[in-house]
Amino acid sequence: MGSVKLPFDRRAILLLNVILAQAFLVLFFGVLQFWNVFDLLQERALTALAAFYVAAGGFFSLVAIFMLRNVVQLVRAQAEAEVNRVRLQETRQMVDMLRAQRHDFLNHLQVIYGLIQVGKSDVVEDYISQVNEEIQKSSKVFNTLMHRPEIAGLLMRKIAQAEASGISFAVDLKTDLMLLGISPLDFSRVLGNLIDNALDAVEAVPPEQRRIYFEMREEQNAYVIRITNFRPLIPREYLGKIFQKGFTTKAGKGEGLGLYIVKNLVEKNRGKIWVESNEEEGTSFILCFPRLSYSRVELPSA
């Protein structure tokens, strides 16, 4: 499983700054006092005082280092606990989804059996073809993202949500995201927001245009994720504002924070995001994240 970028705890960082500031002040006032009494003390007293301040400075430095180590361990433990909580939640949701699919599969078998009983062999063939298409899509998601259950679970939920609303949701997974370094929590928020936006957008178009395409691939030492809804389009004058705080294309709905937050999460994890919208390809939001062995993202050619 890929490494996870751990979030910072502001309270821990504040505590760390206080500790370091205290250690610095002890050393500073020690040196200041040393020079103030330099002409007043005998050589023996001066030596003893100097030794005391050196010892005190060393002691407080060791204390600061010890507490710094504890703060770092605390931050890491809190981050790992949050990551594990998210993964456990997604795994449970995936198990629930598999149970639901098992129930659906049994229902499909009953339908097929009933059609055979009444001699509808031509209908049976079409029905089996549709069921097989659903099974192949689910198998592709689970097999490709076996080590990233939080992503597989999210995709399966969104696919089921789309199908329940009469929306075609095509998935093209060309990578397993093995070296993706973004935390499961951040990545789930980013993907969930973008897919939800696509689902909301296609609700406003005719049924034959309600299509979403989700792609993951590797390109130029980076992972590229594309979420496309073929209609509606985003007006050209909005493309430069789409990620601004407070901007929204949903009249009377929302506060325009969704894509602004998404952009911040992407950039926090050393990624990039941009949008394209044209008549030929529809509206696409493209994410680009470096693989763990690379330190920066090179934008692939559009």
CA distances (Å), 212 to each of 6, 163, 284, in order? 32, 11, 10
Q: In the block, which residue shows the tokens 């009249």?
A: 251
Please check whether residue 295 lies inside any domain of the structure.
no
Q: Going by C-beta distance under 8 Å and a sequence separation of 6 or more, which residues neighbour residue 83?
A: 4, 183, 184, 185
Domain co-membership, 93 together with 34? no
Domain co-membership, 187 together with 87? yes
Please check whether residue 299 lies inside any domain of the structure.
no
* Domain-terminating residue out of 50, 78, 106: 78
In terms of pLDDT, which residue wins out, 180 or 82? Answer: 180
Please check whether residue 23 lies inside any domain of the structure.
yes
The pLDDT of residue 272 = 97
Please check whether residue 118 lies inside any domain of the structure.
yes
In terms of pLDDT, which residue wins out, 194 or 131? Answer: 194
**Mean predicted lDDT score pLDDT of the chain:** 80
Q: How many residues are present in the chain? A: 302
Domain co-membership, 111 together with 259? yes
Please check whether residue 301 lies inside any domain of the structure.
no
Of 131-145, 180-194, 222-236, least confident by mean pLDDT is 131-145
In terms of pLDDT, which residue wins out, 116 or 228? Answer: 228
Q: Check whether 3 has a pLDDT greater than 50.
A: no
Domain co-membership, 46 together with 115? no
Domain co-membership, 100 together with 71? no
Identify whether the C-beta of residue 296 lies closer than 8 Å to the C-beta of residue 271.
no
**Confidence class for position 125, pLDDT limits 50, 70, 90:** confident
Domain co-membership, 53 together with 95? no
Please check whether residue 188 lies inside any domain of the structure.
yes
The pLDDT of residue 243 = 95
Q: What is the pTM of this model?
A: 0.66
Identify whether the C-beta of residue 229 lies closer than 8 Å to the C-beta of residue 212.
yes
Of 49-53, 67-71, 188-192, least confident by mean pLDDT is 49-53
* Domain-terminating residue out of 78, 109, 125: 78
Domain co-membership, 23 together with 138? no
Phi/psi of residue 173, each to 5°?
A: -105, 110
Domain containing residue 121: CATH number: 3.30.565.10
Identity of the residue numbered 50? A
* d(C-alpha 263, C-alpha 235), whole Å: 20
Domain co-membership, 74 together with 96? no
Domain co-membership, 145 together with 115? yes
Domain co-membership, 222 together with 164? yes
Identify whether the C-beta of residue 277 lies closer than 8 Å to the C-beta of residue 221.
no
* Domain-terminating residue out of 25, 59, 78: 78
**Confidence class for position 216, pLDDT limits 50, 70, 90:** very high
The structural domain count of the chain equals 2
The pLDDT of residue 7 = 45
The pLDDT of residue 302 = 47
Could you list the residue range(s) of the whole structural domain that residue 57 is in? 10-78
Please check whether residue 39 lies inside any domain of the structure.
yes
Domain co-membership, 36 together with 140? no
The pLDDT of residue 153 = 83
Please check whether residue 255 lies inside any domain of the structure.
yes
Q: For 23-66, what is each residue's pLDDT tens digit?
A: 666 666 666 565 565 555 555 555 665 666 666 666 766 776 77
Domain co-membership, 161 together with 16? no
